[in-house]
Amino acid sequence: MTKWQLPPQGTTKLNVDGAIFHTNGSAGVGLILRDWEGKVLLAVSKKEVAVMEPLEIELIATLRGLQFCIPLGLQSLSIETDSLILAQELSKLELSNYMFRNVVIDIKQLQTRILVCSIVHVNREGNELAHKLARFGRNVIDTSVWWESVPHSVEQVLWTDLLL
C-alpha cells in the first residue's frame, strides 16, 4: 500500500509512529485516529524522554495510542505502524525474550479491551500523518491533543490522504 486507506465500515483506524530527537535526548509520538469515512476523531503529538531505540519509541507510540483509544469505547480498531518488526512481534502468540518485553505485554493486555483489535504494517507513505505528528512532538511540552482536527502544519498531509 502506497497511501493511507480507509478502514472498513464500522472500524476506526489508528496510525501510530515514533521519532527520535538525538540532539536533546527525547522522542516524539504521533497518533491519528480516523473513522471509516476518513473523519479525524483524534490527533496527538506527545514528547517522550529517555528513549533512544527506534523499536522502543514505536512500541511506546502503540501503547500510547491504545491508552488514548480505550476510554473512547471503540469496538473495532485497526492499528497501523510503519515498523515491520513491531507489527510482526505484536502478531505473535508467544512473546520473544527481548528488552522491551514489558511494553509488549502491556500492549497485548490493552488490546484485549477492544473487541476487535489488529496491528498491521504499512509503508511510510501510508503512515505519513502519524509520522508528521511524531516529529511535531519535538515542539510540545508534554502532550498536545486535537479533537476532530489536526494542527495546521499537517493539514496538507490529511488532505492528500483523503483525496489522492
Residue pLDDT tens, the chain, 164 long: 578 999 999 999 999 999 999 988 899 999 999 999 999 999 999 999 988 899 999 999 999 999 999 999 999 999 999 999 999 988 887 766 677 888 999 999 999 999 999 999 999 999 999 999 999 999 999 999 999 999 999 999 999 888 86
Q: Are 133 and 143 in contact (CB under 8 A)?
A: no
Beta-bridge mates of residue 17: 30
Rounded distance, CA 138 to CA 135, Å? 6
Per-residue confidence (pLDDT) for residue 52, from 0 to 100? 81
Which long-range CB contacts under 8 A does 70-75 form with residues at least 24 apart? 70/110, 70/113, 70/114, 72/33, 72/41, 72/42, 74/12, 74/114, 75/10, 75/114, 75/115, 75/116
**Residue type at position 126:** G
Per-residue confidence (pLDDT) for residue 2, from 0 to 100? 75
Q: Where are the domains of the chain?
A: 12-163
Rounded distance, CA 17 to CA 157, Å? 15
pTM: 0.94
Per-residue confidence (pLDDT) for residue 97, from 0 to 100? 62
Rounded distance, CA 161 to CA 37, Å? 12
Per-residue confidence (pLDDT) for residue 155, from 0 to 100? 92
Per-residue confidence (pLDDT) for residue 162, from 0 to 100? 82
Per-residue confidence (pLDDT) for residue 151, from 0 to 100? 95
Per-residue confidence (pLDDT) for residue 1, from 0 to 100? 54
Q: Does domain 12-163 have CATH number 3.30.420.10?
A: yes
Per-residue confidence (pLDDT) for residue 24, from 0 to 100? 87
Rounded distance, CA 69 to CA 154, Å? 21
User: What does the DSSP 8-state code read for residue 8?
Assistant: P
